[in-house]
């Protein structure tokens, strides 16, 4: 038996169609039953599991995303504070200069140089310091360049400083030809006029500050102005003065158009279509926007691992559930299939037994009814014969006596048949009794002798005289031999040969071998020959129950049955009957 | 030796009685239990041959009635059915003959039972 045969459910290979009538066939559709059971069980098991896993997936994803946003928010916020503080401190230092010194002091070159030295002590970001009069002409300058008398009146920074009192410019190259930021502070004088204190700051400290920000993997942090021009160097988005042309900047600039100072974190896509997390915020009193850009996949790295674990958990769970449901479904439907088959088999057996019993009762009734008129014919013929025999006037007419003898002989034949019928019917009821196997077999064959005669069968009996009587259920033994002989008759062509050989080779058993030279049974059919409803002659009126019931009867009387067959040569059934069924049962 | 044959088939018992007379056995017959009881009142019979199944009074019942009145009377049963029930109903010592009965068998059984 191959592994496939072991695994393959019996109900898929079973001929359950034969086990039921058309009206109830749907009740025996085990494949459908199996399908429904497996489908419904999988449905109620998998739907909650998958739903819960998806909900858990979504909740965990949301939690991790929220954590990523919070982390980015914290990072942007801290960096924003540092940068803002830097600009704030520089502004305060200039305010202090503007408040502590008079215009006369500020236009004094030596004093201005000293002031520059002093404020550079607090932070060396200051490159130079200048004083611009109300006409926009730089009237004093302290620093490494020669910029006295430079006219700033036409510059936007000059105009903005006049308007707002304080102004910080975008990063520019200016007259110095180096990237710098200009601080302009309006200083009011006693006579109502004003001057502007102009300081230039190197952007390098800001670059250094941003370079120290702990940002993961391919993350980037930089300052841009509101036109998207980089104000500090960037790792991945260009150098100073390059324009950030990524699509996310449009989204950022739109949300910051109102110059709010709120830190924001948004999910965007870059040109490659990758998801990125952008954090940004305006630096107060400056045209700068602090911006962090991080790859979302890097930030969600922990989530990726969790997601893989979740996926494997789901996959393993589903696989296990499917295996268990398939296994249990197949096992249970198989059990139902086997139980149903046994039930149907019992019902058919009971029906078969009832039919046999009915036939027996009918035969007995017919025999009884026939017996009375037969007895009258017998006696009347007997009386005629007596008259011919005992009265001299008829005794010499031999022809009349021969006719009467013929009537009596025919009546005896009829009587023998009715006695056989009565005897057979009487043995339908189960009872253990001693019997001569030869008598039983001859009785069975007597029922078949006419068919054997018509089809020219040769029947050979080899039953030695020393075969002991067996103690068994006569009716069942009769049925067994009747079924086997019937089976052999069906298998043989006209002129076939049937032999029944009885031997006593085992002290507890008598063996009877019924051999025919019929069509034989193939190896494939031999595996199923004792299964109920299996028949090779279903279309010829076979029920598929004969050998199945024979097998059951053999077991019921504690006997054994063996089968040998060669296709085209014939079949031999050997039955080992226990000599004493009572002893065998004990 | 005198026999009483009882069977609801009058044709049968009358013929058997006649055949027995050819063999020197004096046999009378009746077609019902009532007639048999009436005849037994007036005549002496050594052996009664009774059909098992008869209307009103069965052979088994008739045997009981006759046995009560005539303890020496012996009985043989005839049956057209031959089922086991018939045999169980009677006592083990009773003889059963299954119809159609061979007259020689009946004669030998009658002689045998008469001698015992």
- Asked if pLDDT for residue A135 goes beyond 80, the answer is yes
The DSSP secondary structure of B87-108, one letter per residue, reads HHHS-TTSEEEESSPPHHHHHH
- Nearest-Cα distance to chain B for A518, in Å, is 38
Task: Kindly provide the b/e burial profile for residues A260-278, where b requires at least 16 CB atoms within 10 angstroms of the residue's own CB.
Answer: eeebbbeebebeeeeebbb
pLDDT digits (tens, 9 = 90+) for A41-53: 999 999 999 999 8
For residue A386, the chain B residues in CB contact (below 8 A) are 18-19, 22, 103
- Asked if pLDDT for residue A15 goes beyond 70, the answer is no
> From A426, which residue of chain B is nearest by alpha-carbon distance?
B83
CATH topology of domain A101-205: Beta-Lactamase (3.30.450)
The DSSP secondary structure of A120-185, one letter per residue, reads HHH-TTEEEEEEE-TTSBEEEEESSS--TT-B-TTSHHHHHHHHHSEEEPPPB-TTTTS-EEEEEE
Q: What ipTM goes with this model?
A: 0.82
Q: Judging by beta carbons within 10 Å of its beta carbon (0-12, 13-18, 19+), is residue A243 exposed, middle or buried?
A: middle
Considering CB atoms only, which of A371, A383, A412 is closest to B99? A371
3-state secondary structure of B84: helix
- Nearest-Cα distance to chain B for A338, in Å, is 39
Taking the C-alpha atoms of residue A512 and residue A406, their distance in angstroms, rounded to an integer, is 38
> From A388, which residue of chain B is nearest by alpha-carbon distance?
B22
- Residue A222's beta-bridge partner residues? A291
Q: Is omega for the bond preceding A261 within 30 degrees of 0, making it cis? A: no
Residue A424 confidence class, pLDDT cut points 50, 70, 90: low
What is the pTM assigned to this prediction?
A: 0.51
Residue B111, domain extent: 2-115
Mean pLDDT of A517-542: 73
The answer to whether the CB atoms of A379 and B19 lie below 8 A apart is: yes
- Asked if pLDDT for residue A311 goes beyond 80, the answer is yes
The answer to whether the CB atoms of B15 and A425 lie below 8 A apart is: no
* Residue B39, domain CATH: 3.40.50.2300
Residue A20 confidence class, pLDDT cut points 50, 70, 90: very low
> From B106, which residue of chain A is nearest by alpha-carbon distance?
A379
**A382 in contact with B at a CB cutoff of 8 Å?**
yes
The predicted structure's pLDDT at residue A258: 53
Among B84, B99, B105, the residue to mutate for chain A (most A Cβ within 10 A): B99
- Asked if pLDDT for residue B34 goes beyond 90, the answer is yes
The predicted structure's pLDDT at residue A433: 82
Give the rounded percent of residues in chain B with a pLDDT score beyond 90: 54
The answer to whether the CB atoms of B22 and A382 lie below 8 A apart is: no
- Nearest-Cα distance to chain A for B55, in Å, is 15
> From A364, which residue of chain B is nearest by alpha-carbon distance?
B81
> From B86, which residue of chain A is nearest by alpha-carbon distance?
A426
More confident residue, A583 or A30: A30
- Asked if pLDDT for residue A111 goes beyond 50, the answer is yes
Taking the C-alpha atoms of residue A249 and residue A277, their distance in angstroms, rounded to an integer, is 12
The answer to whether the CB atoms of A390 and B22 lie below 8 A apart is: yes
Taking the C-alpha atoms of residue A110 and residue A335, their distance in angstroms, rounded to an integer, is 109
- A 10 A CB-CB count for A167 gives 23
Q: Are B76 and B101 in contact (CB under 8 A)?
A: no
Task: Kindly provide the b/e burial profile for residues A125-152, where b requires at least 16 CB atoms within 10 angstroms of the residue's own CB.
Answer: bbbbbbbbbeebebbbbbbebebeebeb
- Asked if pLDDT for residue B29 goes beyond 90, the answer is yes
Mean pLDDT of A451-456: 82
The predicted structure's pLDDT at residue A499: 94
Domain with CATH 3.30.565.10 in chain A: 436-586
Domain with CATH 3.30.450.20 in chain A: 101-205, 215-299
Region of A241 (left: φ > 0; alpha: ψ -120 to 50; beta: rest) is left
Q: Which residue's structure tokens are 């909740």?
A: A59
Mean pLDDT of A325-333: 89
DSSP state letter for A296? H
Overall domain count for chain B: 1
At residue A513, what are phi and psi to the nearest 5 degrees?
Answer: -115, 120
- Asked if pLDDT for residue A282 goes beyond 50, the answer is yes
Taking the C-alpha atoms of residue A164 and residue B95, their distance in angstroms, rounded to an integer, is 147
Residue A78 confidence class, pLDDT cut points 50, 70, 90: very high
Question: Which stretches of A221-300 are DSSP H helices?
Answer: 247-255, 296-299
- Asked if pLDDT for residue A128 goes beyond 80, the answer is yes
Considering CB atoms only, which of B9, B19, B103 is closest to A372? B9
Q: Are A77 and A263 in contact (CB under 8 A)?
A: yes
Region of A331 (left: φ > 0; alpha: ψ -120 to 50; beta: rest) is alpha
- Asked if pLDDT for residue A490 goes beyond 90, the answer is no
- Asked if the A436-586 domain carries CATH number 3.30.565.10, the reply is yes
More confident residue, B93 or A566: A566
3-state secondary structure of A500: strand
- Asked if pLDDT for residue A427 goes beyond 80, the answer is no
3-state secondary structure of A227: coil
The predicted structure's pLDDT at residue B21: 92
CATH topology of domain A215-299: Beta-Lactamase (3.30.450)
**Range of lowest pLDDT (A79-93, A346-360, A380-394, A486-500):** A346-360
**Range of lowest pLDDT (A266-280, A535-549, B55-69):** A535-549
Q: Helices B10-22 and B103-115 sit at what angle, rounded to 10 degrees?
A: 70
Residue B82 confidence class, pLDDT cut points 50, 70, 90: low
Taking the C-alpha atoms of residue A29 and residue A25, their distance in angstroms, rounded to an integer, is 7
- Asked if pLDDT for residue B83 goes beyond 50, the answer is no
Give the rounded percent of residues in chain A with a pLDDT score beyond 90: 22
Residue closest to A381 by CA, chosen among A410, A409, A407: A407
The predicted structure's pLDDT at residue A2: 54
At residue B20, what are phi and psi to the nearest 5 degrees?
Answer: -65, -35
Cβ within 8 Å of residue A371, ≥6 positions away: A415, A418, B80, B81, B98, B99, B100
Residue A79 confidence class, pLDDT cut points 50, 70, 90: very high
Q: Is the Cα torsion angle A551, A554, A560, A566 positive or negative in sign?
A: negative
The predicted structure's pLDDT at residue A586: 61
Considering CB atoms only, which of B15, B83, B84 is closest to A380? B15
Q: Residues 392 to 431 of A: which have CB under 8 A from any B CB?
A: 411-412, 415, 419, 422-423, 425-426, 429
The predicted structure's pLDDT at residue B94: 66
């Amino acid at each position: 038996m191959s592994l496939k045969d072991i695994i393959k459910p019996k109900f898929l290979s079973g001929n359950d169609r034969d086990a039921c009538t058309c009206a109830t066939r749907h009740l025996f559709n085990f494949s459908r039953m199996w399908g429904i059971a497996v489908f419904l069980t999988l449905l109620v098991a998998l739907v909650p599991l998958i739903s819960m896993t998806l909900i858990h997936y979504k909740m965990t994803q949301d939690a991790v995303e929220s954590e990523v946003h919070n982390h980015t928010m914290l990072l942007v916020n801290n960096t924003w504070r540092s940068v803002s503080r830097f600009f704030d401190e520089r502004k305060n230092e200039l305010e202090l200069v503007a408040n502590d010194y008079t215009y006369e002091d500020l236009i004094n070159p030596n004093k201005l140089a000293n002031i520059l030295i002093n404020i550079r002590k607090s932070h060396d970001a200051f490159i130079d310091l200048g004083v611009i009069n109300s006409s926009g002409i730089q009237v004093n300058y302290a620093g490494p360049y020669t910029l006295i008398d430079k006219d700033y009146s036409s510059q936007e920074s000059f105009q903005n400083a006049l308007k707002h009192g304080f102004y910080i410019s975008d990063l520019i190259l200016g007259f110095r030809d180096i990237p710098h930021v200009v601080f302009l502070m309006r200083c009011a004088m006693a006579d109502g006029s004003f001057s502007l204190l102009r300081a230039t700051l190197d952007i390098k400290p800001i670059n250094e500050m941003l370079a120290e920000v702990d940002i993961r993997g391919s993350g980037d942090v930089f300052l841009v102005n509101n036109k998207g021009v980089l104000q500090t160097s960037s790792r991945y988005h260009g150098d100073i003065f390059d324009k950030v042309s990524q699509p996310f900047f449009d989204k950022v600039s739109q949300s910051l158009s109102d110059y709010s100072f709120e830190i924001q974190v948004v999910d965007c896509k870059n040109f490659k279509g990758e998801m990125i997390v952008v954090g940004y915020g305006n630096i107060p009193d400056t045209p700068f926007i602090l911006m962090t850009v991080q790859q979302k996949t890097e930030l969600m790295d922990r989530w990726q691992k969790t997601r893989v674990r979740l996926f494997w958990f789901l996959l393993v769970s589903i696989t296990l559930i499917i295996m268990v449901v398939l296994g249990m479904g197949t096992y249970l439907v198989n059990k139902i299939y086997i139980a149903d088959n046994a039930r149907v088999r019992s019902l058919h057996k009971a029906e078969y037994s009832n039919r046999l019993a009915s036939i027996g009762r009918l035969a007995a009734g017919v025999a009884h009814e026939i017996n009375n008129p037969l007895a009258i014919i017998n006696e009347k013929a007997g009386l005629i014969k007596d008259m011919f025999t005992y009265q001299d006037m008829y005794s010499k007419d031999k022809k009349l006596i021969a006719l009467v003898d013929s009537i009596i002989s025919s009546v005896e034949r009829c009587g023998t048949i009715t006695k056989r019928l009565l005897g057979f019917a009487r043995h339908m009821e189960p009872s253990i009794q001693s019997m001569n196997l030869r008598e039983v077999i001859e009785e069975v064959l007597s029922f078949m002798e006419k068919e054997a005669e018509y089809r020219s069968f040769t029947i050979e009996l080899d039953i030695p005289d020393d075969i002991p009587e067996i103690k068994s259920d006569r009716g069942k033994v009769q049925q067994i031999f009747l079924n086997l002989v019937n089976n052999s008759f069906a298998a043989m062509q006209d002129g076939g040969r049937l032999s029944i050989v009885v031997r006593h080779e085992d002290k507890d058993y008598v063996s009877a071998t019924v051999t025919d030279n019929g069509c034989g049974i193939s190896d494939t059919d031999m595996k199923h020959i004792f299964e109920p409803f299996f028949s090779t002659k279903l279309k010829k009126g076979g029920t598929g129950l004969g050998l199945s019931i024979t097998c059951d009867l053999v077991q019921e009387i504690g006997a054994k049955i063996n089968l040998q067959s060669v296709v085209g040569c014939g079949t031999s059934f050997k039955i080992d009957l226990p000599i004493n069924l009572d002893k065998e049962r004990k | 030796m005198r026999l009483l044959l009882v069977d609801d088939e009058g044709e049968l018992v009358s013929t058997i009685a006649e055949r027995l007379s050819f063999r020197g056995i004096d046999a009378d017959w009746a077609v019902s239990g009532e007639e048999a009881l009436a005849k037994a009142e007036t005549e002496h019979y050594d052996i009664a041959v009774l059909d098992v199944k008869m209307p009103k009074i069965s052979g088994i019942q008739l045997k009981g009635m006759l046995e009560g009145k005539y303890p020496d009377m012996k009985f043989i049963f005839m049956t057209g059915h031959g089922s086991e029930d018939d045999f169980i109903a009677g006592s083990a010592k009773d003889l059963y003959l299954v119809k159609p009965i061979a007259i020689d068998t009946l004669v030998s059984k009658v002689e045998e039972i008469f001698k015992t």
